[in-house]
Structure 1
Amino acid sequence: MGKSRTKRFKRPQFSPTGNCQAEAAAAENGEEDDDGPAAELLEKLQHPTAEVRECACAGLARLVQQKPVLPGLARRDAVRRLGPLLLDPSLAVRETAAGALRNLSACGGFEICDDMVTKDVMTPLVALLKECSAGLDSNEMSPQEKKDQSKNSIENIANEAVNVLWNICECSSRAVSIFNKEGCLEIVLKYLSRFSTNVDLAISVAHCLQTVTEDNPELLKSFSATVLQVLESAMLCPVSSMEYILLKTLVAGTIWNLKDVIPSKSQAEIINAILKILSEVLEMDAGEIVIRMKEAETQRLKTAAETEETLKNVNGDDLIEDVEMEEIPHKRKVRRKNFVSDLLPPTDKELRETIAVLTAQQTALEIVVNMCFSEDPSDDEWEELSSSDESDACMENSFSECGGQLLSPLCLSHEIHSALTNCLIPKKVFEKTASPNKVALDICSRNPTWKPLIRKMNTIQCRALVCLQSLVSLLDVDHLGGVPALQTLSQHLSQLLFSQPDFAKHDDFLEAISGALRALLQTMASKNISQCMTPDQLMAFCKAGIHSSNIGVRVNVVSILGITGSVLAKEAGTLETLKTIGHFLLEVATKDPSLVVAGEALDALFDVFADGEEAEKASVQIKLLSALKEFQPVFKMKIRKEGRGKYSPDQLCVLDNVKMNLRRFVAYQETVEKRLTS
């Protein structure tokens, strides 16, 4: 298997506030036509009044979250119209324009981001980042004026702009190249250095840096000792809120990406520091944090409501003057509102901090996965670049003829190996594979603003399963806790799987657990360790998984049957089970629309029926030889006709080896059948 690439999930998006709310809401519900909100809002971007331009940007920020409107906005050149507003004379317009572009880049995906680069959004964006950087250092105003009037606005604008930069760089290599050439590293590092006073901005920068430092040797040349010191300071900063936990985790991921420029004498120390942070993050109980934070929010709202009621009784509807309420920012004079929430800060601290912890845990698991591999495969479809583990050895020579090793090689240096085990990473990853806390899930399901956290908790479980797959494939049995630990893990995965009768409906979970199970069964089979899942259970799982639209799931389930069958082939009394497995794999090999899955199924057949008396009897009874002889020319034709257009060179290399092994296996089966029928 190749490496699971770190994937981005959408960040909290820009939400318009103030007088723009009504127009933005109207835009959200509008139709996408020439006379609809999109055309009207784009027209208002050129209005001479700053407030109108601001409201238009805010409306677009809401509108772009609806995918059906994106093609229309592209046709109307929304990017070229929004881009210049990043340098608008009004700071408010700059912020809302950046917010609209942030949402567009987050919701639009790779194509939209690439189009944004083509439409030259990077020119005003980089200029804005430079102006914000200069503005934060400006001495033209008095310190108090700077604090009250511009500092927060400039930092807010910078935060939106950095998020746009992050989104685009994550999707476009051209954007990364511009990042390198325009010296954006120096700019964003200045923002990161403000982590003690603006953690939100620092987190956005850390996300961006983790993205642009991955596989970017040109940028690595710019990382001097001074730059590394800024990162080190952020990584080692004291934790005053849960958001700082996320910041430290993201910076740890960035420093891992920079390992090639870190002096060799410091490598072990840096790796230990990174894994210590990841260990501390993974040790936190996300479910308990959700429960505790929701209770804190409930208590805060109750206290605020009681305070408001008291003030209402004392003052009636008069102006509440000089009220020093902790819940009211800046202790400013406010008129009594109709709702308690109107007296609260615009962001909910408890929810923000909970999201920060969950994001930190997801990021930590992704970093551990990345540590286990030396490089990414040539494309993102890592799950399709696989062949059965046991057939790798017999194909080794053929792989070398294809220009080197096919898959990303497992890479675990002594320093990383020691740090992983010393920090108890395998144990903590194992714990994170458990289903999310039911009480926490119930709390989130009953609160609309907390409901998105359910997906985050499920994502953490899936990331943990992917991480578990990597660790099981890499570490010695002793470092995984010995034979009892692997048997316990086998039982745990079985319970995890069959406790969810509708598991086949959840592709992410199914892909993650099938990959983990495949790696575990392979390790246990290689060490002759018995496991608790019965062949019937595995068969039921594979029958459900083979109908998944996800190619990675289908590859995993046929590999699982190949591993299971190869073990059973050496045991007595397994004839009927082997026949069932053989029929299943033959059907997949001959009927699955993906050549990658078909090739994996053939590999699995080779493994199951390569040796053993029971396997030989089963192969004759299911007429394996005649079925494979009939399919052999069909498989060759499919490779010739479909291969070049649909599959990568690496995948074609695997398929060519399968084709060669099929020829050898048919010859072997001819000798088996001749011997058994003579």
Structure 2
Amino acid sequence: QLQHPSAEVREYACASISKLLQQKHVIPAFLQRDVVRCLGPLLMDHSLAVRETAAGALRNLSACGGFEVCDDMVTKDIMTPLVALLKECSTGLDANQLSPKKRREMDKNYIEDIANEAVNLLWNVCECNNTAVSIFNKEGCLESVLHCMKKFSTNVDLAISVANCLQAVTEDNPDLLSSFNASAQQILETVMLCPESTMKHILLRTLIAGTIWNIKDTIPPGSLGSMVNAILKIFSESLAIDAGETIIRMNEAEKNRSKLAIEAETEENMSDVIDNCVLSEDDDMEEIPKGKVRRENDISDLLPSDKWELKEVTALLMAQQTALEIIVNMCCSEDPSDDEWEEVSSSDESDLFMENSYNEGSGLLMSPLCLSDEINSAFLNNLIPKKILEKTAFPNSVALDICMHNPSWKPLIKKLNAVQCRALTCLHSILLVSDMDCLGGASALQSLAQHLSQLIFSKTELPTDTEFLEAITSALRALLQTMASKNISQCMTPEQLLALCEAGIHSSNASVRVNAVSILGISGSVLAKGQDTVETLKMIGKFLLDVAMKESSLVVAGEALDALFDVFADGKEAEKAAIQIKLLPALKEFQPVFKMRIRKEGKGQYSTDQLCVLDNVKMNLRRFIAYQETLGKTPT
């Protein structure tokens, strides 16, 4: 049917395949039938409708199939017709200029809709495959997609697709930087400055800000300071919005709109009523034609056209998640050299702000970070740490209840949780790159410890979600390490920490298990310096010893041994506890087992860096045993 002489039959066949490809289990069967080579030529079909449905089917295949399928698509040369299609779309956009009024009168704009599907397909394959990125660079695809971006004022969905694609292809892609000339940067800057306040436009600006961060090496040194501030201003705008309240408000708006639609006697009356509604659907919203196949996933433009409010909330959550992810990258990027950054002197206003931030006792929430001066200043001026901390809270319970009882809104729960986890990861990054003074001092760190403790222990059962556990244990580990290094008393009780680590060590995620034993090691080393802590140290010691001996992952076992070394390295209480749990004989017995495991399991299962760490643990184990033996010989 894909080769049928009738365009309508070909379109129907593509649409049918597109719908089926939303089901992951059918994808292997389609791949065996060489669906990529069958659909690829249809991207250049004489019929625009066929082009669109073929591109949509391939988009579904790339989105639902994952990395291996995208690799297969590139191997089967999907990029050749895709690049050709994009170039034709780019040319066609100019030839297809219509007034907004005329556009509303038409059922659809085929060129823009085809471009949207094609750009999404391009985004998916470039995100998964380096060869696709190389072809993007070599074939000048940047010019084509930027041409599509120029439609942002009338087609925000297309612009968001382009922005997603740009953010993906500009990440770690130095070969593309030379293509971002003044004209290209001007397009991005224009989009960043667009004043529209819908959630979709907030998402668009956030994605463009992320792209500009990726291409920061092309920005003149004298403009870097203002560029960083502009980026963080956009992120601040996104993070300032309360997603829970937005869900409640938008859900109510959806109900009201539905009620109005039902009450309306005619389509004309309904149109009049909705036009007068504050939350009416925008004129530039994409209309989905009859028979158009859509699939539900993270891309908001695939939601049905009558889900305007849901699209807005989805866009907001995507914007917030994206902003938080880029902030992590900003914290983790290498510190630029002084000559790369514009020297910015502190104004009286910023000095006053600094003074007020400390006088108000807001500590961590409004204190500068120990990064470059420009990022420090921009973080401070845009209250980024404060907004990150707000996002670490659990989602609004009323909003969650709305989502739970509304099937089409239920996917938002996962997105709400993702925003919280990204915020915790941001917090972790900030703690890693900041010193205590920059974080607001001891009281701010203790308040933060209480906040994290509340997140963990506020519910009747300890959290089990892997992503949340990894994010919060990483943040807690970094925080406790900072507090321990500055001799700041820790707010969590040993019993709480043991309970958390007991839950963490049973996680299927090795990073969570590593964090769990590391947290115990940090806390135990602090307790070892105190008084009357023998019993607690014994519990910690037994726990860590048990993990070291029984853990399936050598990396986690090694971390448990490191934690033991930290806890029992010094202090009278630690010495007593070590004797009572028979730490020395246990480690002497375990030493050859650990060596043998490294020799047998190390090759092939672990990276070079991990093996290097394990070798250090092995050496430290030998030294620690020798140290413990000297303690036993020392007269007391």
The TM-score range, normalised by the shorter chain, is 0.7 to 0.9
- 1:311 and 2:266 are equivalent in the alignment: yes
Match of 2:305 among 314, 332, 346: 346
| Structure 2 match to 1:522 | 481
Match of 1:227 among 163, 166, 184: 184
Match of 2:22 among 61, 65, 71: 65
- 1:289 and 2:246 are equivalent in the alignment: yes
Q: Which amino acid aligns with 1:533?
A: M
Secondary structure of residue in 2 paired with 1:372: helix
5 Å-filtered alignment, 1:128-207, equals 128-138=85-95, 152-207=109-164
How far residue 483 of structure 1 moved from its aligned partner, in angstroms, is: 2.2
| Structure 1 match to 2:209 | 252
Q: Which amino acid aligns with 1:302?
A: K
Instruction: String of CA shifts for 1:54-99, please: whole Å, max 9, x gaps.
Output: 2222222221222221221211111111111111111111111111
| Structure 2 match to 1:381 | none
Q: Cα 1:146–1:538, aligned 2, differ >3 Å: closer, same or farther?
A: closer
How far residue 570 of structure 1 moved from its aligned partner, in angstroms, is: 0.3
Equivalent residues of 2:58, 2:121 under 8 A apart: yes
5 Å-filtered alignment, 1:166-565, equals 166-307=123-264, 310-311=265-266, 326=274, 346-374=305-333, 412-565=371-524
Secondary structure of residue in 1 paired with 2:328: helix
- 1:80 and 2:37 are equivalent in the alignment: yes
| Structure 1 match to 2:293 | none
How far residue 149 of structure 1 moved from its aligned partner, in angstroms, is: 6.0
Equivalent residues of 2:533, 2:573 under 8 A apart: yes
How far residue 673 of structure 1 moved from its aligned partner, in angstroms, is: 2.1
Q: Cα 1:431–1:649, aligned 2, differ >3 Å: closer, same or farther?
A: same
Equivalent residues of 1:551, 1:597 under 8 A apart: yes
- 1:49 and 2:16 are equivalent in the alignment: no
Q: Which amino acid aligns with 1:621?
A: Q
| Structure 2 match to 1:3 | none
How far residue 533 of structure 1 moved from its aligned partner, in angstroms, is: 1.1
* Unaligned segments of structure 1, at least 5 residues: 1-43, 313-319, 331-343, 377-409
5 Å-filtered alignment, 1:577-588, equals 577-588=536-547
Give me the whole-angstrom Cα distance separating, in 2, the residues matched to 1:371 and 1:259: 11
Equivalent residues of 1:220, 1:258 under 8 A apart: yes
Give me the whole-angstrom Cα distance separating, in 1, the residues matched to 2:583 and 2:96: 82
Match of 1:606 among 544, 565, 578: 565
Instruction: String of CA shifts for 1:559-613, please: whole Å, max 9, x gaps.
Output: 0001000100100100011111111111111111111111111111111111111
Identity value in percent: 69
Instruction: String of CA shifts for 1:316-369, please: whole Å, max 9, x gaps.
Output: xxxx89976757999xxxxxxxxxxxxx98342111111111111111110110
Q: Cα 1:296–1:143, aligned 2, differ >3 Å: closer, same or farther?
A: closer
How far residue 414 of structure 1 moved from its aligned partner, in angstroms, is: 2.2
Give me the whole-angstrom Cα distance separating, in 2, the residues matched to 1:411 and 1:45: 59
| Structure 1 match to 2:583 | 624
Q: Which amino acid aligns with 1:571?
A: G
Instruction: String of CA shifts for 1:481-537, please: whole Å, max 9, x gaps.
Output: 332222221111111111234444311111111111111111111122223210001
Q: Which amino acid aligns with 1:154?
A: I
Q: Cα 1:139–1:374, aligned 2, differ >3 Å: closer, same or farther?
A: closer
Equivalent residues of 2:370, 2:434 under 8 A apart: no
Equivalent residues of 2:525, 2:568 under 8 A apart: yes
* Unaligned segments of structure 2, at least 5 residues: 276-280, 284-302, 336-368
How far residue 50 of structure 1 moved from its aligned partner, in angstroms, is: 1.7
Q: Cα 1:345–1:413, aligned 2, differ >3 Å: closer, same or farther?
A: closer
Give me the whole-angstrom Cα distance separating, in 2, the residues matched to 1:235 and 1:647: 43
Q: Which amino acid aligns with 2:373?
A: H
Q: Which amino acid aligns with 1:566?
A: S
Q: Which amino acid aligns with 1:74?
A: L
Q: Cα 1:424–1:477, aligned 2, differ >3 Å: closer, same or farther?
A: farther
- 1:592 and 2:551 are equivalent in the alignment: yes
Instruction: String of CA shifts for 1:619-676, please: whole Å, max 9, x gaps.
Output: 1221212222222222222222221201111111211211222221121111112226
Q: Which amino acid aligns with 1:296?
A: A
Q: Which amino acid aligns with 1:311?
A: T
| Structure 2 match to 1:103 | 60
- 1:123 and 2:60 are equivalent in the alignment: no
Equivalent residues of 2:2, 2:9 under 8 A apart: yes
Equivalent residues of 1:358, 1:460 under 8 A apart: yes
| Structure 2 match to 1:569 | 528
Secondary structure of residue in 2 paired with 1:533: coil
Equivalent residues of 2:257, 2:274 under 8 A apart: no
Give me the whole-angstrom Cα distance separating, in 2, the residues matched to 1:418 and 1:74: 52
Q: Which amino acid aligns with 1:50?
A: A
Q: Cα 1:265–1:493, aligned 2, differ >3 Å: closer, same or farther?
A: same
Q: Which amino acid aligns with 1:207?
A: N
Q: Cα 1:473–1:187, aligned 2, differ >3 Å: closer, same or farther?
A: same
Equivalent residues of 1:373, 1:412 under 8 A apart: no
Equivalent residues of 2:260, 2:270 under 8 A apart: no
TM-score (norm 1): 0.82
Equivalent residues of 1:491, 1:531 under 8 A apart: no
How far residue 135 of structure 1 moved from its aligned partner, in angstroms, is: 0.8
Equivalent residues of 2:166, 2:211 under 8 A apart: yes
Match of 2:604 among 623, 645, 659: 645
Give me the whole-angstrom Cα distance separating, in 1, the residues matched to 2:525 and 2:393: 29
Instruction: String of CA shifts for 1:255-295, please: whole Å, max 9, x gaps.
Output: 11111121111111111111111111111111111111111
Give me the whole-angstrom Cα distance separating, in 1, the residues matched to 2:126 and 2:206: 20
Q: Cα 1:142–1:214, aligned 2, differ >3 Å: closer, same or farther?
A: closer
Secondary structure of residue in 2 paired with 1:137: helix
| Structure 2 match to 1:380 | none
How far residue 373 of structure 1 moved from its aligned partner, in angstroms, is: 1.0
Secondary structure of residue in 1 paired with 2:109: helix
How far residue 412 of structure 1 moved from its aligned partner, in angstroms, is: 2.7
Give me the whole-angstrom Cα distance separating, in 2, the residues matched to 1:419 and 1:142: 40
Q: Which amino acid aligns with 1:642?
A: E
Instruction: String of CA shifts for 1:5-33, please: whole Å, max 9, x gaps.
Output: xxxxxxxxxxxxxxxxxxxxxxxxxxxxx
5 Å-filtered alignment, 1:25-36, equals none
Q: Which amino acid aligns with 1:424?
A: L
| Structure 2 match to 1:89 | 46
Q: Cα 1:527–1:349, aligned 2, differ >3 Å: closer, same or farther?
A: same
Equivalent residues of 2:370, 2:438 under 8 A apart: no
Deviates more, 1:632-641 or 1:180-189: 632-641
Secondary structure of residue in 2 paired with 1:412: coil
Give me the whole-angstrom Cα distance separating, in 1, the residues matched to 2:103 and 2:398: 46
Q: Which amino acid aligns with 1:299?
A: N
Q: Which amino acid aligns with 2:404?
A: S
Task: Compare relative contact order (CA 8 Å, sep 6+) and give the higher one, 1 or 2.
Answer: 1
